[in-house]
Each structure stands twice: as C-alpha cells, then as structure tokens.
Structure 1
Amino acid sequence: MSAIRALRQLTSTSTRAWRGSVNVATASRRAALLARPVARSFSVSARVFGEGATDVALSQKLTEELQYEKEAAAEVSAEPDFLKGFKAQGVWKLDDVAGNDEVSLSRKFGNEDVRVMFSIADIQTEQEAEFEEEAEGQSEDEPAHSYPIRCSISITKDSAPGALTVDAMCQDGAFIVDNISFYKDAKVGTELTAEADWNRRGLYIGPQFDTLDVGVQEEFERFLQERGINDSLAVFIPEYSEYKEQKEYVHWLANVKSFVEA
C-alpha cells in the first residue's frame, strides 16, 4: 500500500472539530459573532434557492460562517511570514494545487531527487472533546497546538535504479520515522498511480524503524537531516498544513453556499 494511500486511510475518519489553533479568546469571539443577528434579508422563498424548504436557513448559516472566516483571514497577511521565510531560503520547491488535500515539497541534493508529501487531512482528525479540553485549559500565551502530520518521503538517484521511501510522523518540531522501504524499481516506489500502488502490495516494506540497531537509526537520522528532512522542515509542515486547510475551508464554504443558492 502506498504511503499516500495510508495517509488517507489513517486520517479520514473523523468530524471537523476545530479550525486552526483555537484558544478561549478565539472561541469566545467566534461565538459572539455567530450569535449576533446578520443584517441581510432572507424574505425570498425557498424555491428561489432550489426546491428544499431548508435552503434559506442553510444558506444563512453558511453565510455567517463564511463571514467569520473572512474576517479572521483579514487580520493576517495574504502570505504569512513563516511561508515567506521558507520560500526565501530557496531550498524546497512547494507544489500545492488548490482543491487538493495533498502537498508536495521537492528538491535536488547532489544526484538525488528528494520529495516530501503530506496531507492536510490529518488536521481533521482532532476530536471535539479534545478541542474542549484545549479551550478550557489553554491560555493565549501558550504555544499553538501542533498537529501530527504523516509524511511520505522518497529519494531517487539519477545514477542508480531504485527508490528509498520513508514513512514518518511530523510533530512538535521533529520527524519520527516509522519505517524505511527500498524498491528496486523507482517507479513502483514513487508513482502515485493505481498500477504502482497495486505493484507495491505484497512487497517487503522494511522493518519498523525503532527495531533497528540504535547506531543504524542514528545514521539514518543524520542521512535524512543532511537532505533537509530536519527540525526546521518539521516545524514548517504543520504550520503550512493549518494555513492551507484554512484556505480550502473558506473555498469550500463559498462553493457550497453558491451551490445551495443556485
């Protein structure tokens, strides 16, 4: 099974619990905004929106949520400082397609091509109970919540066949490696097609990383750090995941609202 497929299976089974890093003050502002009356008329009949009697009410709620998210977005710059700084380093190429939940980072390292893929679906795995605990116990001065983000890392060489792939968890400014696989055919190890995924089934994916000799683990960690899979990248990935998820959510609200009102 591909690492990207595993990402989807491991992170797609929960409800949306909270948006970004929420603290008590943010939750209070949001509640106040959603509680106040919205100055707009909904005197039109439901048939203008469609055939359902609930269309107008749903449209109103979507409009209120969209208004809140746009007001919150207006408080920050179009491109946050952490993203500007990341791009300014010129190390990684960021490939982010609007509407997709997967993001790719790629770079050259000598004769190697290094790719890191992660999914913003991980952000949606937080449960509402956890949000309530965080909201009750977290002050505004405490650090933002750090999401655990699963990453699929692949390394290929121009001068040699095969692909080295790494499944890892990124959280709290560090990468935690699960396992490292080697595929003799680079296409089998790196392509995101259904055929490549099928060809990977049944192949040995390597031992659990934490079962390796400690010395081997340490050298693998140095190997990855030299290629930019380091603490700095482990800080960036959760930050960017939150940033992208927020943008996708606003687009989703606008698209659903337009569809309901059509």
Structure 2
Amino acid sequence: MSALRTLRQLTVTTSRVVAARQASTLSCRALPALATRASSAPSNSRAFSVSARSFGEGTTGVSLSQKLQEELNYEKEAEAVNSGTPDFLKAFNEQGVWEIQDVLGNDEVTLTRKFGNENIRLMFSIADMQGEEEDFQAENESESETEGEDEPLHSYPIRASLSITKTTGPGCLNVDMVCQEGHFVVENVSFYNDAKLGTDLTADADWKRRGTYIGPQFDTLDVAVQEEFEKYLQERGVNEHVALFIPDYAEFKEQNEYVKWLNNVKTFVDQ
C-alpha cells in the first residue's frame, strides 16, 4: 500500500476513533433528556417504513459510487504527480539481470533469470502487505502525533519463494524466505527429485509437496553451512539489491491494483 494512502488512512482511522468516543460521551449525557422526549413524542411508524423502502430501492448505491469516485480522483491526482516509470524500477531493469513477470489482476509477481545451466525463479506476493498494514496501523495510532518527520518508512515483511532447476540434471531446490529491511531471511530449503513437482503452481502439485519432507529449519543448521548457503544465493543474484527492490515493487503493484479495483467496483455499482 502506498505510503501516502497509509498515512491518510491512519489519520482517518484516528479521527474516527476520537469522534466515536465523543459521540459516546454525548449520548450518555443526553440519555435522560432523550428518555423524556421519547415518552411524550407520538410514534412515527410511517417515517420508518419510508426509510426502509428507500434502502430497498438501492439509494445507497449512489452515495457509494460518489465515494468511490472521490477515491479515484484522489489516486489519479497522485498518479499525475508521480507519472511515468519509477526510478527504482528503471534502475532494476537497466541491470538486465532479472526479468519481471507481472500480470495485472494477480497478486503474485515472478522474477526469473538464468545462471549458467540453472533456471532461477523468485516469487513474492503483495497479499502479505494487507495484514502487515493493519498491524502497523494498530501499533502506531497512539504514536502518530509524536513521530518525527524524518522517521524511516515501515518495511513490510514479504514472503518469497525461490526455485532453482538445472538443464543438465533432474531435481529442484526450493528456498522459502522472508524479505525485510533489505535482507533475505532463509527459513528452510527443500529438495524435490522431480523438478516438475518442485516448480508447478497447480493445486495438485501443492498438495503433493505438503506430503514431502521440506528440510530442517534453516537456523538449526551448522553456522558454517548457513554462511555458505547464503553465499550460494548471493552469487545467483538473490542479494540485498533484490531484497530492497521487492518491497518497493510490491507497493508499486499494490497501488496499481487498488486503482483497478476502484474502477471495477464503481463500474459494477453504476450498472
């Protein structure tokens, strides 16, 4: 989620909490007066029936469409300011190491490259950003007013999955990692004798992989083995540069997906 939208939503959320508390306090003070008025006021069942019938006719769709349009206008204004390909993406593409495979509408992004006789695929998903965004807002609501303007932006942990296959032999090496703060933290390394089983993205292949041994927890391996394996990944381009790129691209993609989502939902509501 974009940093601007994150801060905007954090401000809105905080305002709603304050407003809700104020409304609760006012309602408690007004209870005696309301009770007196209610006992003396005549019933108005006709007003309720008219209101219910209005909601049944779909009047809420109009106001929802207006709010969606407001969000679209806000995002388009931001796009106009930041038009064109971001600098971080230009720099990444200019290196010519990894090829980006990104389909609008999908939440997964794939980076691929060749290294000698190896085919390397690195996948990550923007879905991880949603849960982390909610946790981040909850943790920082009370601190939002005291944070300095120069505080670094929060870096969301994003899960990544690496697969390595060879053209000269069978098998597939899979590495589960977490990308955060410019580093990859390896969780475990799996090996599959069948390269197709290790790389297929079908539900059937995923089910079969769950029944196989995924290897030990990486941090339980001998320290020397861990260090050599990290060097192995570094040599294949799974390094700090890519670890810094992934959160930036995830935020960039999430923003594009959000704008598309707003357009699709508004079109549906307006039909």
Q: Same fold (TM over 0.5)?
A: yes
Deviating beyond 6 angstroms after TM superposition, the runs of 4 or more aligned structure 1 residues are none
1:20 aligns with 2:2: yes
TM-score (norm 1): 0.81
Contact 1:23 1:134 in 2 (8 A): no
| Deviation of the 1:23 alpha carbon | 8.9
| Deviation of the 1:186 alpha carbon | 0.4
The equivalent of 2:232 in structure 1 is 223
Q: 2:197 aligns with which of 171, 182, 188?
A: 188
* Alpha-carbon distance between aligned partners in 1 of 2:60 and 2:102, rounded to the nearest angstrom: 36
1:89 aligns with 2:95: yes
TM-score (norm 2): 0.78
What letter corresponds to residue 233 of structure 2 in structure 1? L
What letter corresponds to residue 95 of structure 2 in structure 1? Q
Deviation string, structure 1 residues 44-90 (Cα, Å, up to 9, x no partner):
xxxxxx95221001001101111111111211132100000000000
What letter corresponds to residue 119 of structure 1 in structure 2? S
The equivalent of 1:68 in structure 2 is 74
1:260 aligns with 2:231: no
The equivalent of 2:179 in structure 1 is 170
* Alpha-carbon distance between aligned partners in 2 of 1:137 and 1:82, rounded to the nearest angstrom: 30
| Deviation of the 1:164 alpha carbon | 0.2
| Unpaired stretches in structure 2, ≥5 consecutive residues | 13-55
Structure 1 pair 170–181 and aligned structure 2 pair: CA distance change class (3 A):
same
Structure 1 pair 170–137 and aligned structure 2 pair: CA distance change class (3 A):
farther
Structure 1 pair 79–130 and aligned structure 2 pair: CA distance change class (3 A):
farther
Contact 1:163 1:186 in 2 (8 A): yes
Larger radius of gyration: 2
| Unpaired stretches in structure 1, ≥5 consecutive residues | 1-18, 32-49
Percent sequence identity over aligned pairs: 64
More relative contact order, 1 or 2 (CA 8 Å, 6+ apart): 1
| Deviation of the 1:134 alpha carbon | 6.2
User: What is the Cα-based RMSD across aligned positions, in Å?
Assistant: 2.1
| Deviation of the 1:197 alpha carbon | 1.2
Deviation string, structure 1 residues 134-165 (Cα, Å, up to 9, x no partner):
63344332222211100000000001100000
